[in-house]
Structure 1
Amino acid sequence: MTLPFDLVRPDRTAAATPEALVVSRYLGDLATTAVHLPEADRAALEESTLRLLRALLTANPGAAPPPPTPLGSRMLEYVQVHVVDRDLTIAEVARVHGISERYAYLILQRAGISLADRVRGRRLAGAAEELRRVHERHVTVSEIAHRWGFPDHANFTRAFHRAYGMSPRDYRKRCGQEPGGSVREPTTICADPIKIAKER
């Protein structure tokens, strides 16, 4: 395989990497089936197999995913605007942009984005922001959760605790703004949740 030695990354051959596992399974299947294929078919498989191995050995495991394509950016903008919509699914995003669900998944996946994680993170950040506001103190935690697309209070509490390390009620007590606008406990966890979510 004509491949410059300095491009080969030994760490890509470790079985622990997802890419290596995919290639390993492919080669295992190929080894058991190729012997039964006609000579012409085996020859056709040779080049594609070499390209696959070349990609595995030269890929940079620490490289950040590429930024979203223009279409991907429009999809994310749509998600941001409609984040509280109950019917915000990959099917809806794909329909609005005139593409298939599979292609929508692929566009986001290439940018290292999970739609479900993105939507959940934005909704939790929106709920956290409301919990901080002094003029929202009369609104119950359940009502805020419902506003942000969490009809089940228990599920919301669990998701919120995973994201912020405390229950929504405790977050409101610790991070709620005083009448003058200052935060009761100006810790990192009480920083602007909307800004933090957009930076992720």
Structure 2
Amino acid sequence: MEIVEAFLEVVGRDGPAAASSRAIAAELGVGAGALWHYFDSLDAVVAAACRRVLERTDARIASVTDGRRGLAAVDATLREILPLAKRTVDEAQVVVGFWGRLAVDRQFAGGRSDALDMWGARIQRHLAEAVDDGELVPDVPADCLAEVLLSIAVGQQVHAVLDAERADPQRQLALVHHCLMPWRPQATKMQNGCPAGSA
């Protein structure tokens, strides 16, 4: 819908704080009152925009993992969620920047939960492939590791909004690498659950 796209355009260009009903209407070249023929409130626009972001992310994940498996597919999946480039940073702004306002939106909350569950299951499946392909050791806790990796991705979305320095792309990818490293066949001896010498 054009209103949702206008909202996303304003957020991407000017930031979430600038995405008022007046700014969205100006982006469309219409009066602000015209928006409410389609949405009940700005919160409803935000919820629709967040759902659009999740749908686009899911479509990209499906596209980039087509024909890939194992750790290559895990990496491709996470790169579409982590805020590594302008597009995914803008998406993080939409999702995280209005989280407080959307906390009461049951429909949105369910949609996000469904997306996270689906992405987590996808990552877990690719981790199992990595075990089959010898990229990870057989006793890797794929379910827990998938949850940790997804938590990192979501957490980095928060950092992209609240603390841009901590959302540095190389740092984000290093966190993913660090989580996977102990479970690679060539990993060094573990000490208290961490690779030796990592402290």
The verdict on a shared fold, with TM-score over 0.5 as the criterion, is no
Q: Which has the higher helix share?
A: 2
Q: Relative contact order, CA 8 A, sep 6+: which one is greater?
A: 2
State TM-score, norm by structure 2.
0.34
State TM-score, norm by structure 1.
0.33
